[in-house]
Amino acid sequence: MDVNASLMQGNEACAEGALAAGCRFFAGYPITPSSEIAEVLSRRLPAIGGVFMEMEDEIAALAAVIGASVGGLKALTATSGPGFSLMQENIGFAVMTEIPCVIVDVQRTGPSTGLPTSPGQGDVMQSRWGTHGDHPSIVLCPSSVRETFDLMVKAFNCAEKYRMPVIVLMDEVVAHMRERVRLPEAEDIEVVHRVGTEVPPEWYYPYDDAPTDVPPMVSFGQGFRYHITGMMHDKAGFPTESRDEINAWVKRVFGKVERHVDDLTILTQDGTDDANTLVVAYGSTARSAQYAVRLARARRRKVGLLKLCTLWPFPEAVVEQLADGVRSVVVPEMNLGQLALEIERIVGRKKVHRVNRADGEMIAPRQILQAIEED
In a domain, 253, yes or no: no
**Do 86 and 181 share a domain, yes or no?**
yes
- pLDDT at residue 1 is higher than 60: no
Burial of 322 (0-12, 13-18, 19+ CB in 10 A): buried
- Give the separation between CA 141 and CA 247, rounded to whole angstroms: 31
* Residue 366 scores a pLDDT above 80: yes
Question: 176 with 52, same domain?
Answer: yes
Query: How do residues 215-225 score in pLDDT, each as one tens digit?
Result: 999 999 999 98
For 271-291, b/e burial (b = at least 16 CB within 10 A) is bbeebebbbbbbbbbbbbbbe
Write down which residue in 137, 167, 188 finishes a domain: 188
Which of 188, 211, 232 is at the close of a domain? 188
Has residue 84 got a pLDDT over 60? Answer: yes
Tally of domains within the chain? 2
- 96 in any annotated domain: yes
Write the CATH number for 126: 3.40.50.970
The CATH number linked to 297 is 3.40.50.920
Dist. CA 257–CA 275, nearest whole Å = 31
Among residues 34, 308, 366, which one has the least CA distance to residue 174? 34
Higher pLDDT, 76 or 195: 76
Residue 46's domain spans which residues?
6-188
In a domain, 224, yes or no: no
Residues above pLDDT 90, as percent of the chain: 95
State whether 166 and 311 are in the same domain: no
Same domain, 153 and 278: no
- 129 occurs within a structural domain: yes
Does residue 310 lie within any of the structural domains? yes
Contact by Cβ (8 Å): 272, 324: no
What is the average per-residue pLDDT within 247-251? 95
> Do 10 and 153 fall into the same domain?
yes
> What confidence tens digit (pLDDT) does each residue in 113-125 have?
999 999 999 999 9
How far, in Å, CA of 33 to CA of 221, rounded?
Answer: 36
Q: Distances from the Cα of 317 to the Cαs of 59, 95, 128, 370, in angstroms? A: 36, 25, 18, 28
In a domain, 217, yes or no: no
Q: Is residue 88 part of a domain?
A: yes
Q: Is residue 307 part of a domain?
A: yes
pLDDT band at 232 (very low <50, low <70, confident <90, very high): very high
Residue where a domain stops, chosen among 188, 208, 223: 188
